[in-house]
C-alpha cells in the first residue's frame, strides 16, 4: 500500500530537483554533475592558451597557474601579455609562464615557427593542452551587412588559424602519445545566432573539425573538449546599465565561473560542455533535442533580436518572443 506512494514521492522529488537545477544552473547536466576540477590533470602540465591577453583567456591562465600548470600565453598584444605574465608570475613563479606572441591570421609559415618554439619551451617537454580561446571581435550585424573583410578575418582567426596550429602541433603530440585540445566554441556554435551569422558559422566549423579530429585520433591518445558558453561577463561584454532597457540586465555567467567550468570539463575528459544561464541553455537543449521546435523559436525571434542588438538592448530577453512583430 505504502510502496506506490513512496515511489511516486521519490519520482516527484527527482523531477522537482532536476527542474530546479535546470532553471537555476549555469551549465549542462553532465558538466554540473562532475563537481570540481581534477587538480592532477593540470599539475606540472604544459598548457598553451591562445587569446590570453584579456577576457576569458586571461582568467583561464590565472586559474591554471593556481592549479600548478606550466603556462604558455599567446595573443598579438605584447604589452598586455607582459601584464598577464607579471600577474601569473606572482602566483606560480616566473619560470612557469612563457609568452609566445602569435597572430592567428598570419598564415601557416609563421604559425609553424611559433609551434616549434612552443614545443621547445620548459626544456622541450612538449605541450599537453592547447586551449583554443582566441577569437575575432564579434560586432552584431545582419548576415546581409557583414563586410567581406570581417568575414575573412573571422574565419582566419577563429577557424583557419586554430586548425593550422593543431595540424602543426599534432605530430609532436602523437609522438608522445598524448595531447588535449580544449576548444572555446560558443552557444552560437550549437544554435542559430541572429545578428552573428558569420561568428556562428566559424564556431559550427570549429565543432565539426574538432569532433571529427577526435574521432580519428582518440585511440592514439588525442582528446578534444569542445566548450560552448552562452553570454559571459567579461570586460568587453556590453554594459546593459547604459542601454535604453532600464532595469533589464542580461544575466551573464562570470568569466571566472566560465573558466572554472571549462577546466572541470577538460579535467573530466568531457567531449562537449555547455556553460550558460537560462534562457540560452534551454534554447541549446531545444535545438539539440527538438530541432524543429528550436528552429521555429529562433525564426520567431531572429529579426527582432538583430534590432534589439543594434539598440544595445537585452538580446536574451523573453520579450523577444512576445514583443511586437518586425517588418
Ligand X SMILES: *[C@@H]1O[C@H](CO)[C@@H](O)[C@H](O)[C@H]1NC(C)=O
Quick check: 316 and 231 in contact, CB under 8 A? Answer: yes
**All cell numbers assigned to 186:** 560558443
Choices 1-9, 21-29, 98-106, 207-215; region in contact with ligand NAP by CB under 6 A:
98-106
Which among 310, 109, 157 is positioned nearest to 149, based on CA atoms? 157
Interface with ligand X, residue 80, by CB under 6 A: yes
Can you tell me which residue has the cell 612557469? 96
Nearer to ligand X, 75 or 160 (CB): 75
Number of H helices, E strands in the chain: 12, 9
CB of 232 to ligand NAP, least distance (A): 4
Q: Which residues of 56-79 are buried (b: 16+ CB within 10 A; e: fewer)?
A: bbbbbbbbbbebebbbbbbbbeee
The reply to whether 242 sits near ligand X by the rule CB under 6 A is no
Cβ proximity of 280 and 316 under 8 Å: yes
Q: Is 199 one of the annotated active-site residues of the chain? A: yes
- What burial class does residue 318 get, using C-beta atoms within 10 Å of its C-beta: 0-12 exposed, 13-18 middle, 19+ buried? exposed
Question: Which residues pair with residue 99 across a beta bridge?
Answer: 73
CB nearer to ligand NAP: pick between 139 and 323: 139
Least Å distance, CB 44 to ligand NAP, is 25
CA distance 10 to 304: 43
Return d(Cα 309, Cα 299) in angstroms, integer.
Answer: 16
Binding to ligand NAP (CB under 6 A) within 106-165 occurs at 133-136, 157
Nearer to ligand NAP, 89 or 234 (CB): 234
Taking CB under 6 A as the criterion, the residue among 38, 76, 83, 312 binding ligand NAP is 76
- Number of chain positions touching ligand NAP (CB under 6 A): 29
Select the residue interacting with ligand NAP from 26, 28, 49, 57 (CB under 6 A).
Answer: 57
- R_g (Cα) of the chain, nearest Å: 21
Choose, from 129, 199, 209, 277, the residue flagged as catalytic.
Answer: 199
Nearest distance, CB of residue 88 and ligand X, angstroms: 17
Q: From ligand X, ligand NAP, none, which one binds at residue 57 (CB under 5 to 8 Å depending on kind)?
A: ligand NAP
Footprint on residues 203-232 left by ligand NAP (CB under 6 A): 229, 231-232
Contact call for residues 173 and 222 (beta carbons, < 8 A): yes
Binding of ligand X by 292 (CB under 6 A): no
Q: Which residues are catalytic?
A: 199
Residues near ligand X (CB under 6 A) are 77, 79-80
Residues near ligand NAP (CB under 6 A) are 50-57, 75-77, 80, 102-105, 133-136, 157, 184, 186, 229, 231-232, 234, 236-237
Amino acid at each position: 500500500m505504502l510502496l506506490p506512494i513512496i515511489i511516486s514521492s521519490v519520482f516527484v522529488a527527482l523531477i522537482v530537483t532536476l527542474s530546479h537545477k535546470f532553471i537555476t544552473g549555469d551549465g549542462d547536466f553532465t558538466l554540473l554533475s562532475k563537481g570540481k576540477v581534477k587538480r592532477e590533470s593540470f599539475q606540472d602540465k604544459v598548457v598553451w592558451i591562445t587569446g590570453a591577453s584579456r577576457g576569458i583567456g586571461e582568467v583561464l591562465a590565472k586559474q591554471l597557474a593556481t592549479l600548478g600548470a606550466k603556462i604558455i600565453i599567446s595573443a598579438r598584444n605584447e604589452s598586455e601579455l607582459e601584464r598577464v605574465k607579471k600577474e601569473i608570475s606572482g602566483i606560480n613563479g616566473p619560470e612557469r609562464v612563457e609568452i609566445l606572441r602569435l597572430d592567428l591570421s598570419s598564415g601557416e609559415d609563421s604559425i609553424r615557427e611559433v609551434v616549434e618554439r612552443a614545443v621547445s619551451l620548459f626544456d622541450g617537454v612538449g605541450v599537453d593542452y592547447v586551449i583554443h580561446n582566441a577569437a575575432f571581435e564579434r560586432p552584431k550585424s545582419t548576415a546581409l551587412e557583414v563586410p567581406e573583410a570581417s568575414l575573412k578575418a573571422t574565419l582566419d582567426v577563429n577557424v583557419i588559424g586554430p586548425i593550422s596550429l593543431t595540424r602543426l602541433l599534432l605530430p609532436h603530440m602523437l609522438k608522445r602519445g598524448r595531447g588535449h585540445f580544449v576548444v572555446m566554441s560558443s552557444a552560437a556554435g550549437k544554435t542559430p545566432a541572429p545578428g552573428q551569422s558569420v561568428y556562428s558559422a566559424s564556431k559550427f566549423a570549429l565543432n565539426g573539425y574538432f569532433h571529427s579530429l577526435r574521432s580519428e585520433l582518440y585511440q592514439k591518445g588525442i582528446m578534444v573538449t569542445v566548450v560552448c558558453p552562452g553570454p559571459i561577463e567579461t570586460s568587453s561584454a556590453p554594459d546593459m546599465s547604459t542601454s535604453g532597457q532600464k532595469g533589464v540586465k542580461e544575466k551573464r555567467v562570470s568569466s571566472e565561473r566560465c573558466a572554472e567550468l571549462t577546466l572541470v570539463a577538460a579535467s573530466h575528459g568531457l567531449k562537449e560542455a555547455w556553460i550558460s544561464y537560462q534562457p540560452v541553455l534551454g534554447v541549446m537543449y531545444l535545438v539539440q533535442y527538438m530541432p524543429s521546435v528550436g528552429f521555429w523559436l529562433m525564426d520567431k525571434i531572429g529579426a527582432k533580436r538583430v534590432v534589439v542588438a543594434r539598440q544595445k538592448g537585452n538580446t536574451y530577453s523573453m520579450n523577444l518572443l512576445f514583443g511586437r512583430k518586425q517588418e
